[in-house]
Structure 1
Amino acid sequence: MTYLLSCRLPNRHQSLQPLAMARGLLAAGERLLRRFARSRMQRRPGLCLLMVVMAVCSVAEAARLDDELLVRDTTHQMPDLRALAAGNPRKVAFFELMIPLVVAQNQRLSEQRDWLQAMRRRAGEAGRDYSEREQERLNALCEQAQQRCSVSAADIGIPWDDLLASIDTLPLDMVMVQAIEESGWGTSGHARNANNLFGMRCFTSGCGTGRAGREYQRFESLEAGLAAYYQNLNANPRYARMRQLRARLRNAGERVRAEDLIPMLGAYSTRGEAYFATLNELLRWNRGLIRTVRERLAANGVLS
């Protein structure tokens, strides 16, 4: 497969002689390939293809992607997926980048829920007071969920049902289709420049990226942007109905599906029913590929 790219070198490289530039590009490519051999990214062919394509654009860009996508274990920056052809190459790269982040976020929330449920079972038991550390964690989770709690060693005033309704996971495929729609498969300006894949706005001048009067929040990493999206759906009063439905399904032992929660996202877009229809259409077209990529990542040990 051949990709024809229009590459623009940074100003500091424009004075390089052609031979020196070629040597620099070759060295950058060799460094990337060595990293591929040592990195788990070798198990993500879509992202590997993206990295090779970007490596030929400039030494500086290759080094940036090398640092941000291959080396960092805890945070990631959004690469420029426009380097890949629209269709499966771009889709696979997008899913390989985002699925592990969403799975990790859901895992953190699941662990928090398990701990909260254990604490709830202990509430009121004689001789089972909470330790100072447990009280601190309970207070922190109440704050995360924007719930008013009164926590002490023996006198616990926690709205457990409301708290557990807010500390919960989201369906992977729902998160994926919202990210697709809100970021144009990761190619929008606020996705590329601000790690904002979910169209989250801010409303004071200079608060983010974009034109005046329509600015988008800026995040230091994809993880930070994803966490803010979860926090929005899990704590914002405008999504209380979504959380209530999710809690009812959970308490009934039923699976929480994207199709169930999407109609509860009315506050997310002014498009109303048209927005729901778009998300459901993206779900129908991409659910199979999301499942395939997830299964491959899991088989290769990429997912926790």
Structure 2
Amino acid sequence: MRSSGRNSIKALKVVLSTGALGAAIIGGLIMSANSAIMNDLLEHWNQTDREIVASKPKMARANNLAKPNIVQAFASVAKVKDAFTSAGYELDAVRWGQVAVPRVLLASLPYDLPQMRQAQDRKTVFLRYMLPYVLEANNRVLHQRERMLYLRAKVERGHRLGEKEAMWFTALYKEYRAKPGDFEALLLRVDTVPVSLALAQAAVESGWGTSRFAQEGNAPFGQWTSNAYAGLVPKERKAGMTHKVRSFDSLKLSAESYLRNLNTHRAYKGLRQMRNAFRKEDKPIDSIAIAGTLLKYSEKGMEYVNLLRHIIKKNDLIALDSAKLGEAILDFRPGA
């Protein structure tokens, strides 16, 4: 049976948004789509995405990285600094591409970070500590993006999605609050955030890790929430306001939620559109430019944007955008 281009595209969208039963029912339509039609689906792919799809082994390695459990242990600044130094983990070495960033298993920031008297030293500890969590969250999103692009190419080659693959897509649409079947809308949302921007926002929102929200709620990104989630009530909350700052069981979950917030909330549609524009031109995502889309992240508006840009520049954070997460794990549990 020969199908029209419109029907083939519609069928592909259904396959990508339904379970195994739906995929099996309309699989014949997908299989019958000619290569010209399917190539049309790939019209808007940029070169970077094409390279990702061509690199299945790369995706497999990302998927097979060890996923150690986060531990509810507490560490002092001194212990954290000693561990970082012993591992050769220095920010300048990361900036120069000399070392990979080790993984950190602790759920929370060092408990005595607010007591550090030297501001610059405190900033350095905070950045070294938060960087692994930001990279981990970005890696998770990057793997999702790699897999969805690979599966899209699989369909383009005339193969049907398996049951688990179709179910995975269904869950992905739900996580990113995208309309089922709208692959382009999903692709716009499943993407990373510049490390420099994430670190700058964490620094501003948490006072470099010293805020009550960061210390008590593992919430360095200051995400507001309603009664649907656990959170801490801001002491300066105005009368009549009901928001809280959402709290998390770990910094890992906080970083993942931060990315999901930027990737799904309507207030940050501009960020996603600008990021996509950089992708289409195969250019690095400019955190200074993209910070300008975050006017609604804070009540301070442009003042907040300017502060982010200042912190990014003053602390040479853009040089950390190319940081890579290594396989070394720093374990702070007693006796480790």
TM > 0.5: yes
- Displacement of 1:207 after TM fit? 4.2
**Structure 2 equivalent of residue 132 of structure 1:** 163
**Quick one: which of 105, 108, 121 aligns to 2:137?**
105
1:277 corresponds to 2:292? no
Would the aligned equivalents of 1:183 and 1:190 in 2 still touch at CA under 8 Å? Answer: yes
- Distance in 2 between the 1:217 and 1:40 partners? 29
Measured against aligned partners, the alpha-carbon deviations of 1:56-103 in whole angstroms (never above 9, x if no partner) come to xxxxxxxxxxxxxxxx96452122311322322211210111111111
**Structure 2 equivalent of residue 176 of structure 1:** 199
Query: Against the structure 1 CA distance between its residues 172 and 73, is the aligned structure 2 distance closer, same or farther, given a 3 Å change threshold?
Result: closer
Matches within 5 A, 1:1-304: 42-43=86-87, 74-80=105-111, 81-126=113-158, 128-149=159-180, 158-204=181-227, 207-210=230-233, 211=235, 213=242, 215-287=244-316, 291=319
Would the aligned equivalents of 2:217 and 2:246 in 1 still touch at CA under 8 Å? Answer: yes
Would the aligned equivalents of 1:43 and 1:300 in 2 still touch at CA under 8 Å? Answer: no
- Distance in 1 between the 2:326 and 2:147 partners? 28
Unaligned runs of 5+ in 1: 1-28, 47-71, 150-157
- Distance in 2 between the 1:187 and 1:97 partners? 13
Letter paired with 1:226: A
Paired residue secondary structure (1:204): coil
Counting helix residues as a fraction of each chain, which structure ranks higher? 1
Higher mean displacement: 117-126 or 270-279: 117-126
Paired residue secondary structure (1:123): helix
Paired residue secondary structure (1:280): helix
Unaligned runs of 5+ in 2: 1-74, 91-102, 331-336
Letter paired with 1:177: A
The number of aligned residues is 237
Identity %: 25
- Distance in 2 between the 1:285 and 1:228 partners? 27
- Distance in 1 between the 2:166 and 2:260 partners? 22
Which structure is higher in RCO with an 8 Å CA cutoff and minimum separation 6?
A: 2
- Distance in 2 between the 1:36 and 1:263 partners? 34
Higher mean displacement: 241-250 or 85-94: 85-94
Higher mean displacement: 140-149 or 79-88: 79-88
What TM-score results when the alignment is normalised by the length of structure 2? 0.62
CA RMSD of aligned residues (A): 3.4
Paired residue secondary structure (2:172): helix
- Distance in 2 between the 1:232 and 1:293 partners? 20
Query: Against the structure 1 CA distance between its residues 198 and 136, is the aligned structure 2 distance closer, same or farther, given a 3 Å change threshold?
Result: same
- Distance in 1 between the 2:307 and 2:191 partners? 25
- Distance in 1 between the 2:230 and 2:327 partners? 40
What TM-score results when the alignment is normalised by the length of structure 1? 0.68
Query: Against the structure 1 CA distance between its residues 214 and 292, is the aligned structure 2 distance closer, same or farther, given a 3 Å change threshold?
Result: closer
Would the aligned equivalents of 2:209 and 2:215 in 1 still touch at CA under 8 Å? Answer: yes
Paired residue secondary structure (1:129): coil
Query: Against the structure 1 CA distance between its residues 302 and 233, is the aligned structure 2 distance closer, same or farther, given a 3 Å change threshold?
Result: same
